[in-house]
């Protein structure tokens, strides 16, 4: 995965400059990314901010040097970029749970090894360290409530219909599972302004899907098949500063595709199928007067099939 190689090159640059000046823009350039996108991707992959990681690495190195040499605290503070020994001591205590002088005396320091991003395959899931990067999921004989709209912006209208219906008819609407897709593709006929069809679905449980309708809403069959599912990183922006969901979805789909290629034994399957978009809504999205201001989390579902042996 080229993107993973580039991220590791950026991490190597940070490691080489912990005792000097770290230029985050240079790190982002090594990762072939903007600074904002690099910081967001780092947090997504590691569950911590870039600044937190750098502080942890500096404190680990400083403590080792403190334990193994006679270096003065004032010199360590300057070496690792702190304006004063007091600021360094506060950061040291926050990380190690004791003052530098106590750590030197006891030798009981906390280690924090450098991060190296590596993808492995574990029980069918693609793992980045201990974190699932993608997972496989198969849909078979599932039913769902569906609201289908065809217009210039059908996604917004379809999900608004779903939200209104769910709040009116369900008590557990925030715990349900929501999936959407464009049967003919997003903007299949050319420009973005062209009308297209979009379907917003809420998966049903057991007997809920037996009839043609459920609580007044149409019930339909959910698209079947095997999917590779991965998180969507919302790190692309429109000119007005709002998040570009479409472009973020597109970029994240490449990561899911690369995971499939590295897994081996599978290929994309768009024969009569479409990719799906899972929406994970907060309760506030259902109850707010301005739901458009509350972005859900997204997962990208890539339709796949096993290759012939």
Distances (CA, A) of 30 to 26, 116, 149, 193: 6, 15, 43, 37
Tokens 């040097």, residue located: 65
| CA dist., res. 298 & res. 292, Å (int) | 15
Structure tokens at 216: 């007044």
Question: Within 10 A of 126 (CB to CB), how many other CB atoms are there?
Answer: 23
pLDDT higher at 200 or 123:
200
Q: Is the dihedral of CA 86, 92, 98, 102 positive or negative?
A: negative
Model confidence, pTM? 0.63
pLDDT for the residue 126: 53
pLDDT of 238 above 70: yes
Helix (H, G, I), strand (E, B) or coil at 113: coil
pLDDT tens for each residue of 25-59:
999 999 887 888 788 778 777 778 899 999 999 99
**DSSP state for residue 136 in the 8-state scheme:** E
- For residue 50, which phi and psi values (nearest 5 degrees)? -60, -40
Which domains are delineated in the chain?
A: 2-106 (1.10.10.60), 135-306 (3.20.80.10)
Tens digit of pLDDT for each residue in 239-275?
Answer: 887 888 888 888 888 878 877 876 778 899 999 999 9
As given in the structure block, the two tokens for residue 181 are 């897709």
**Residues of the chain above pLDDT 70, percent:** 90
């Amino acid at each position: 995965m080229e993107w993973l190689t580039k991220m590791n090159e950026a991490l190597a640059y940070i490691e080489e400059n912990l005792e000097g000046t770290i230029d985050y823009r240079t790190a982002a350039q090594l990762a072939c990314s903007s600074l904002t996108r690099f910081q967001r991707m780092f947090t997504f992959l590691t569950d911590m901010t870039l600044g937190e990681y750098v502080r942890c690495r500096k404190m680990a190195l400083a403590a080792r040097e403190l334990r193994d040499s006679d270096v003065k605290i004032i010199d360590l503070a300057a070496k690792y970029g702190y304006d004063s020994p007091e600021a360094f001591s506060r950061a040291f205590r926050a990380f190690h749970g004791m003052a530098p002088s106590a750590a030197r005396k006891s030798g009981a320091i906390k280690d924090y090894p450098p991060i190296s991003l590596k993808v492995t395959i574990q029980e069918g899931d693609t793992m980045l360290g201990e974190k699932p990067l993608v997972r496989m999921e198969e849909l078979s004989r599932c039913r769902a409530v569906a609201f289908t709209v065809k217009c210039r912006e059908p996604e917004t209208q379809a999900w608004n219909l779903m939200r209104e219906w769910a709040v009116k008819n369900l008590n557990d609407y925030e715990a349900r599972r929501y999936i959407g897709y464009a049967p003919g593709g997003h903007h299949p006929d050319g420009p973005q302004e062209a009308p297209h069809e979009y379907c917003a679905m809420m998966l049903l449980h057991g007997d809920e899907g037996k009839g043609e309708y459920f609580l007044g809403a149409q019930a339909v069959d959910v698209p079947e098949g095997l999917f590779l599912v991965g998180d969507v990183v919302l790190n692309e922006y429109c000119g007005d500063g709002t998040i570009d969901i479409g472009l973020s979805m597109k970029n994240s789909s490449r990561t899911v595709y690369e995971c499939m290629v590295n897994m081996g034994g599978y290929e994309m399957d768009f024969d009569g199928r479409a990719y799906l978009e899972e929406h994970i809504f907060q309760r506030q999205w259902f109850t707010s007067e301005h739901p458009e201001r509350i972005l859900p989390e997204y997962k990208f579902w890539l339709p796949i099939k096993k290759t012939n042996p």
